[in-house]
Structure formats: C-alpha cells, structure tokens
Amino acid sequence: MSSRDAMLAKIRRNRPEGPALPDIHAVPFVTFDDKFAAFAGLIRNLGGEAVMLAEGQTVAEVVARRWPNPGRVVDLTLMQHAEAFTPHDWQDVDIAIVPGDLAVAENAAVWISHPDNIFRSLYFLTEKLVMVVPRDKLVDTMRDAYGQIAIREHGFGAFIAGSSRTADIEQSLVMGAHGAMAALVIFC
C-alpha cells in the first residue's frame, strides 16, 4: 500500500466523533460606524498610512507629494499586462502602485491579487507599496472579506496589512524585514 493509502486508512480507523460544522454566519461580528477611521487608525501602528483621495486629486499626486524623489515606479493600476518579465526584474523597484480589491476595517488588511501573476514578486520586492482600493470596498471583518474574494481565480492572493515588520530582536518592532519598508493605502 502507498503511504497515502496507508495514512488515510489509519486516519479513518482512528478518527474521533465530532460535532457538525457550525454556521459561522449565525454569530454577530463587530461592525464599525466609520470603517475608514478604524482602518486608518490601525494602519498607523502597522507601519502604514491610509488616505482618502480628495475630489479631483489623483493617485499619482498623492504618491508624488509623499515621496518627491521616487526612483523606479511601477504602476499596475495603469499597466494592463507584463511583457516578458522575470520575477527578479522587480528587485530595484522603489515604489509599486497596485490595485487592491478590498480592505478590512478590523485589521487594516488589503486583498491583493492580480490576473497576471508575473507581478507576484513585485508586491514583496518593492521598497514602498501603494495599494489603491475603491472606497466602497471597505468591509468590517475578515468574514465579510472572504465572502467577496474569488480565491482560486488567480492562483495567488494576499491580505497585506501595513509594511513588512519584525520584532525578533528583543521584541523591538522594526519596519522593513524582507518586504516593503512602507505602505500607503489610497481609497479612491
């Protein structure tokens, strides 16, 4: 017998009794009167910042004001598809501007997933990550978020909350472990 079949047979033999699956929607979860305020307040502690785009203002303007000397910028909100890039080509990107499908008020996470997965390494190689989210796509909790995302479609997707960070040296919080050193979420 293969390891697979032997393992499954043993699990079947040993498996205990268990309850039925609970209905996770039967429980009321927290809601926020002002989802943007909750999101913006949280992300400050997570090495990020959130702004609401003003009338007539563009994403490019907000980014330029924050980082006047940007270096290499890749803007996926403009780019439709990549031309023969390798994942390593993004290693010197300073600012990546990427579309976010939705944002979560309870933890300041943004769902990132792109139809063209050649961009996958960009989210993590860039020095600064700008996530652009439609303002009506702010949900309360992760339960609501998972209700809205189509996970298998693109093969990869991530919730990203703020900047890369670590506290592995004496519990001192340091921004910029491996991924982006700064995160900016723009609601448009």
Partner 1 sequence: MKPENLYHPDAAREFLADGARARWHDQAIWFVRQKRDAQAQQLPEWEELRKLAEQIKAHTLSRLDEYLVQFEENARHNGVTVHFAADAAEHNRIVHQLLAARQVKKLVKSKSMLTEECGLNPYLEERGIEVIDTDLGERIVQLRHEPPSHIVMPAIHLKKEQISELFHAELGTEAGNNDPTYLTHAARANLRQHFLTADAGLTGVNFAVAETGGVVVCTNEGNADLGTALPPLHIASMGIEKIIPRLEHLGVFTRLLARSAIGSPVTTYTSHFHRARPGGEMHIVVVDNGRSDILGNPDFYASLRCIRCGACMNTCPVYRRSSGHSYSYIIPGPIGSTLGPSRDIRKHGSMAFACTTCGSCSNVCPVKINLHEQLILQRKRAFDAGTLKPAKKMGLLAMRFLTRHPALLDTAGKAMRKVVPILPAFVKDGTAWSRPGRELPEMPEHSFKELYRRRQEDKQ
The burial of 77, by beta-carbon neighbours within 10 Å (0-12 exposed, 13-18 middle, 19 or more buried), is given as middle
- Residue 8 or 58 with smaller CB distance to partner 1: 8
Q: Does 8 bind partner 1 (CB under 8 A)?
A: yes
C-beta closer to partner 1: residue 83 or 170? 170
Which has the closest alpha carbon to 125: 96, 156, 82?
96
Cα radius of gyration (the chain)? 20
Residue closer to partner 1 (CB basis): 23 or 55? 23
* 3-state class (DSSP) for residue 112: strand
* 68 interacts with partner 1 by CB under 8 A: no
We find the least distance from the C-beta atom of residue 120 to partner 1, in angstroms, to be 4
**Using CB atoms within 10 A of its CB, is residue 73 exposed (0-12), middle (13-18) or buried (19+)?**
middle
Q: How far is the CB of 154 from partner 1 (least distance, A)?
A: 8
- CA 172, 123, 65 angle in degrees (round to 5)? 80
Give dist(CA 126, CA 142) in Å, integer.
26
Is 128 among the residues that bind partner 1 (CB under 8 A)? no
Question: Under the criterion CB under 8 A, does residue 155 sit at the interface with partner 1?
Answer: yes
Residues in 162-181 that interact with partner 1 by CB under 8 A: 162-172, 174, 176-180
Query: Nearer to partner 1 by C-beta: 65 or 156?
Result: 156
The site string for partner 1 over 30-59 (x = CB under 8 A, - otherwise) reads x-----------x---x-------------
Interface with partner 1, residue 84, by CB under 8 A: no
Positions in 133-152 near partner 1 (CB under 8 A):
141-147, 151-152
Dihedral pair phi/psi, residue 161, rounded to 5°: -120, 100
Is residue 81 near partner 1 by the rule CB under 8 A?
no
Min dist. Cβ of residue 39 to partner 1 (A): 11
CB of 169 vs partner 1, minimal distance in Å:
4
Strand 138-139 to 128-133 pairing: unpaired
CA 51 to chain centre: 16
